[in-house]
Chain A
Amino acid sequence: MSVERILPAPDADSKPFWDGCREHRLKFQQCAECGEVRWPPSILCPRCHSQDTRWIEASGRGVIYTFAVYHQAFHPAFKDKLPYVVAVVKLDEGPMLLTNIVGRPPESLACEMPVQVEWDDISEEYSLPKFRPI
C-alpha cells in the first residue's frame, strides 16, 4: 500500500515561491527600498517595513547552517527514507531555507559546507528545493 506524500500548502504570500519551484526557479521577495531578501514571504520588509516588494531569482547556492539526521519516522511517508537529513541552508542571497541535504552520506556533512540546489519533483504541481554538497 502506498502512503500519501505530504505536500506543501502555499498561502497567498508563499504561492509565488512554490510556483517558481515548479519551474525549478528559486524565487524570493526582495525589498525594493532597502534590498533585504526575505523569507518567509510577507507583505512588508522585516527590516525597514516598506511594502514595496519585488521577486528575485536566487542563485541556488549557499552553505549548510545546521542539519539533523532523522532516525525515526514521525509520519509513514518517511519510513522508507530513513535515515534522512533535514537542514537549514543559508543562501548566498541571505534567506535561511528549511530543506533536505541529498547526495552524500549524513556522516560526511558539516555546518558551513557549500551546497547547490537540486530539484525533487514530488508531484505534477510541486517541486521541492533540496540541496547537494558541491
Chain B
Amino acid sequence: MVISYGHSGLWGGGMRQLLFNTRPSEAAFGHFGAVGRYALAARRGMHAFSRGPETWKHIAMGQRKWANLNPAAIMHAKPMSEEDYYGAPLVVDPFRLFDNCQMNDGGQAIIVTSAERARDLKHRPALIMGLGLDNPCNEIAQAQYTAGPTGAKKASQAALNMAGISLADVDACQIYDCFTYTVELTLQDYGFFGYGEGEDWFKGGTIEPGGRMPVNTSGGQLSEAYFMGLTPISEAVMQLMGRCGPRQLGPATQTKEPEIILCSDNGGTLQSHACLIFRRG
C-alpha cells in the first residue's frame, strides 16, 4: 500500500483555501486560519508556563540546524541565529515568522507492506511497533486544554503500551510541527519533561545534531517542507533505514544510532492526535 501526499501548496491555492476560508462568524472578528487558532493556544500556554518564545526559539533554531544538513530542505542554505528568530516579523503574536511551518510544492510517499514481504526488499524496513489515537475535542473555542494535556497524552500512552516500551527506549522523535508550540506541547504531553519545564529541557541543544534527543531531523515542517503527516513519518522511516546521508542519526551527527523512533501527527487545532512508534527492521 502506498501512502502519498503531494500538493502545490504555493501555487495551487487548495491549501490556502483550507487554511483561510474559515467560518464567517469567526472571520467577522478578523480570525483566520491555522496561525490565529494556534496563536490562541500558544498564548494560553505562555500563561500557564510563564515561558513562550524563550522555549520556541530552541525548537526553531534546532530544527533549522538539521535542515542545514538536509539538501532537500527548503531552508537548507539558511542558518538561523537567535537574532534571526527574534528579529523576524510577528505574524499573529505570540508567533513570529519562524514559529510557523512553511507552505510548499512537492510531495512524499511511504510504502506499507507485511514484515514478511519487506524482508525481500532492497532496503532494510522500518517496523511499526505501536499506534495510538486520541481526538479530544470538536469545537476548539470551547477547549480548555490548550496548555495540555491534549490528545497527545492518551495517544502516546496507547502507542507505548502497544509497543511494550517506555520513553527511555526512544532514540529520536519526529513531531508534527505546524508551529513551534505544537512541538513543545506534544513532547510535554508525551512526558519528556514536566509541565512548563520545556525551556530547561530544550536549551543546550537537546534536539539538535549532537543532542541527546534529536527531534525533527529533516528540519521538519518548520524548515524542511510541509507535507502534513508525511513529513515526520517519512523521516522516521528513512532514518531507521539509514538513508539520511549527512543528517543520518549515529556517528555522522554525534547522536545515538536509532533503534526506535517516535512520531506524532496532529489535526485541527490540537483536536486530534496520532502517535506512531517505529523500530529498525
B203 is an interface residue with CB less than 8 A from chain A: no
Check B146–A66 contact: CB distance below 8 A.
yes
Task: Mark out the residues of chain A between 62 and 89 whose CB falls within 8 Å of any chain B CB in the assembled complex.
Answer: 65-72, 74-75, 77-78, 81, 83-84, 86-88
B31 & A86 in contact (Cβ 8 Å cutoff):
yes
Q: Is A39's CB within 8 Å of the partner chain B?
A: yes
Contact call B94/A68, Cβ cutoff below 8 A = yes
B29 touching A100 by the CB < 8 A rule?
yes
* Residue B26 CB within 8 A of the other chain: yes
Partner of B93, one of A39, A65, A71, A74: A71
Q: Is B77 an interface residue (CB 8 A)?
A: no
Interface-lining segment among A4-12, A22-30, A49-57: A4-12
Q: Which residues of A contact B43 (CB under 8 A)?
A: 66-68, 111
The interface residues of chain B lying within 8 Å CB-to-CB of A5 are 28
**B92–A69 touching, CB < 8 Å:** yes
Inter-subunit contact B40/A75 (CB<8 Å)? no
Rounded to whole angstroms, the CA-CA distance of A4 and B47 in the bound complex is: 36
Question: Are A88 and B40 neighbours in the complex by a CB distance under 8 Å?
Answer: yes
Interface residues of B in 35-52 (CB under 8 A from A): 36, 39-44, 47
Bound form: Cα–Cα A88–B139 in Å: 12
- Chain B, 70-88, contact with A by CB distance < 8 Å: what is the 0/1 string? 0000000000000000000
Interface residues of B in 3-31 (CB under 8 A from A): 20, 23-31
- A68 touching B141 in the complex, CB below 8 Å, given contacts A7-B28, A9-B24, A98-B29: no
Q: Does A133 contact B (CB under 8 A)?
A: no
CB of A112 within 8 A of chain B?
A: yes
- B30 touches which of A9, A78, A88 (Cβ 8 Å): A78
Do B29 and A86 have beta carbons less than 8 Å apart?
A: yes
In the complex, what residues of A have CB within 8 A of residue B28's CB?
5-8, 122, 126, 128
Number of chain B residues close to chain A: CB under 8 A: 31
User: Is A8 within 8 A of B24, CB to CB?
Assistant: yes
Q: How far is the CB of B21 from chain A (nearest CB, A)?
A: 10
Instruction: Pick the most buried of A10, A14, A70, A83: most chain B CB atoms within 10 A of its CB.
Output: A70
- Given contacts A7-B24, A100-B29, A111-B47, whether A72 and B92 have CB atoms under 8 Å apart is yes
In the complex the two chains form, is B90's CB within 8 Å of A67's CB? no
B89 at the interface (CB under 8 A from A): yes
Chain B residues near A65: list those with CB within 8 A: 44, 144
- The 9 A-B pairs at the shortest CB distance, nearest first, are namely A68-B39, A69-B93, A111-B47, A74-B32, A9-B24, A66-B44, A71-B90, A6-B27, A78-B30
Q: List 27 A-B contacts (CB under 8 A).
A: A6-B24, A6-B27, A6-B28, A39-B141, A39-B142, A66-B43, A66-B47, A68-B39, A68-B43, A68-B92, A68-B93, A69-B90, A70-B92, A71-B92, A72-B89, A72-B92, A74-B32, A75-B27, A86-B29, A86-B30, A88-B40, A96-B141, A99-B29, A111-B44, A122-B28, A126-B28, A130-B29
| Contact surface of A with B, Cβ cutoff 8 Å | 5-10, 14, 39-40, 65-72, 74-75, 77-78, 81, 83-84, 86-88, 95-100, 106, 110-112, 122, 126, 128, 130
- Inter-chain pairs besides A72-B92, A74-B33, A98-B31, 13 sampled, C-beta below 8 Å: A8-B25, A39-B141, A66-B44, A68-B39, A70-B30, A72-B89, A74-B36, A81-B30, A86-B36, A96-B141, A98-B26, A98-B141, A126-B28
B contacts, CB < 8 Å to A? 20, 23-33, 36, 39-44, 47, 89-94, 139, 141-142, 144, 146
